[in-house]
Structure 1
C-alpha cells in the first residue's frame, strides 16, 4: 500500500467490516457526524494520519439489491463495476475527517477516480475481498479552503489488486494558522488539484455522441443510504436538506458515480478507468441526461445545468 511516502509512515489500523443492519452502526456514524459539525476548522494533521485495513464479503442478496436499485437486469449485472461502498470505509473516512478538525458544514465530496486493474466486473458474491484506505494529502486552496485526498485499493482473496481509487473532499472555513501551516509544510500540499479550482461548467464542452435519459427516484438517497451505509441525512430527509440551503434531498456522490458507471458500461462498453467530478447536487425525483462519447461524459439537469462530468476509458 502507498500513502504519501513524503510523510512519516502512518499507523495501520485493522478494523472489522460494519453493516448498516448492526445496532451500533447508526449511533456510531451519527456521533461522528455531530462531532464533525462541532469542529472549529483548526487542523490536527498528525492525529488523522492512519490507514484503515479490512476484509469483507458481498452477499448475493446485496449484489442483487444493487442491480435492483440501479435497474440493471440480472443477466447484465456482472457487466457493471459498481462502487460497493463498504460500511467500515464510510465510517472511517468520516472519522478521519473529524479527527483532522474540519467542520462538516462546509464539507463537500468533489471528485472520485477509479482504475480497474482486473477486468471491469463487480465483486464476486461471498468471495473475500481486502481493502485499505488512507488520507494521502491535504492541499490548501484559496484563502480558507483545503482539498483532502484519500487513496485506497481493493484486493481479491489472492492479494492481487482489483481496483484503485481516489476521493477528493473540499472543505472551507479552515483557520488562518492551519492554512499557513499547510503552505509551509515540508511534505503536505504537493498534489495537483487545479481541476477543482472551478467546478462550474456550461454545455457544450465536448462533441457528445450519445444521450441517455433517466430519472432519479424520490427515495434514491434513502435507499442507497440503507444499502451502502452512507447515511448523511441531507441525502435522506428533504427538511434537513432545506435547512442546509437546498430545495430538497440530493443523492450521494458515490450514488451519482454508480449511475454513470452503469450507463457507460451497458450503453458504450467496458470501463478501465473513470474520473468523475461533482459540480452540482443531483436532486431526487428529477429527470437527468447523461451525454457521452468514447472519452468524456457530462450528467446534466432538465435545464441543461452540468451536474457532474469527467473522463473515462
Structure 2
C-alpha cells in the first residue's frame, strides 16, 4: 500500500468543493475507460497519514460542549474521529477513488478505544479504505482510521459507507423491514435546528445536507439532518460516567434525524463473554422511527 504523509490536515475549504466537483464529474469520467476510475477496479491501494497532531484544548472543549461531554483530561472517545476525518475526505476525493463523496451514505461506525488519550499527547493518524463488497442496495466499503501515540495503537475507527445503486439482490436492509415498537425512553432530547452547523463548525464536516434546509433539499433531503457522528457522540456523552478505560462501541445509523427534532434515548444491559455490555438506541420520540442503535463491549 502506498502511504502519502501530509504536512498538515487538509482544509475543508478545499475538500468540499473537490467533493462536489468529483461527485458530478465521476459519472462522466467512468464513461472514459482510459482515465475514469471504476468501482470494478476496486478501492485504491492508498493511505494518507498525518504525524504528531497537536491537540488544541480549546477545540476539544468546544467539541465536548456541542456533543454533551463533560470536560476531562482525556479527550472524548469520538473526538479522534474528527481529527481523522480530513484524511478520510482527502482519500475519498482522490482521483483514484471510484465513488463521489456526496453519493455516499454513512451506515455504520465502530470505534475501538484502547486507552484514554489526553490533550498533552500528540497522536499520529493513518487512513485507508478496504473491503469493497456487495450490498442489497448497492456497494459498501470501510474507511479505517488508526491513531497511535509513540508507536502505540490507542484508537481505531471504522466507518462503513454505502453507495446506492446496482444492488446485489432485491432483499431489504434494516431500514426498510418491519420495525418493532421502540423501547421506553430513559431520556428525551431536544435536537435544535442549528446542531448541524454547530457540529460542522467543530468537526469540519460541512456536508450541505447538515447545514441548511435549502442546501439539504438540493441534495434530496426534505430538510437539514443531524450528523450521524454527532448522534453517536451524544449517546456516548450520556453514557460517559460508566464508560470503561478501554472499550469498543459500534452503531448502525437508521433513519436520519430531520432538524429540529425530539428524540428518545434508551439503554439495556447485554451479556458479553467477558462481562456485561450495553446496548442503546435513539428513536423519534413521537413516531418511534429508529435513528440509531448500538452497543458497547469490552
Instruction: Determine the structure 1 residue equivalent to 2:296.
Output: 312
Q: Does 1:298 align with 2:281?
A: yes
Question: Structure 1 length as normaliser, TM-score?
Answer: 0.77
**Bigger relative contact order, structure 1 or 2, given CA contacts below 8 A and separation 6+?**
1
Q: Does 1:153 align with 2:146?
A: yes
Question: Structure 2 length as normaliser, TM-score?
Answer: 0.81
Query: Which runs of 5 or more residues in structure 1 are unaligned?
Result: 1-9, 180-193
Does the C-alpha gap of structure 1 residues 16 and 254 become closer, same or farther in structure 2, counting only changes over 3 Å?
Answer: farther
2:175 to 199, 217, 220: 199
Matches within 5 A, 1:92-131: 92-96=90-94, 99-118=96-115, 121=116, 123-131=117-125
Query: Which runs of 5 or more residues in structure 2 are unaligned?
Result: 31-37, 270-277
Matches within 5 A, 1:248-259: 248-259=223-234
Q: Does 1:52 align with 2:29?
A: no
Do 2:60 and 2:79's aligned partners in 1 also have CA atoms closer than 8 Å? no
Q: Does 1:68 align with 2:65?
A: yes
Cα RMSD (Å): 2.8
Output the CA distance in 2 between the equivalents of 1:218 and 1:200: 26
Output the CA distance in 1 between the equivalents of 2:159 and 2:251: 10
1:279 to 254, 278, 281: 254
Matched residue pairs, number?
272
Does the C-alpha gap of structure 1 residues 80 and 32 become closer, same or farther in structure 2, counting only changes over 3 Å?
Answer: closer
Instruction: Determine the structure 2 residue equivalent to 1:29.
Output: 16
* Greater strand share, structure number: 2
Output the CA distance in 1 between the equivalents of 2:41 and 2:236: 34
Deviations 1:23-52 (A, max 9, x none): xx4133322332123322642636722111
Q: Does 1:269 align with 2:240?
A: no
Matches within 5 A, 1:178-257: 197-200=173-176, 202-204=179-181, 211-257=186-232
How far off is 1:310 after superposition? 1.7
Instruction: Determine the structure 1 residue equivalent to 2:272.
Output: none
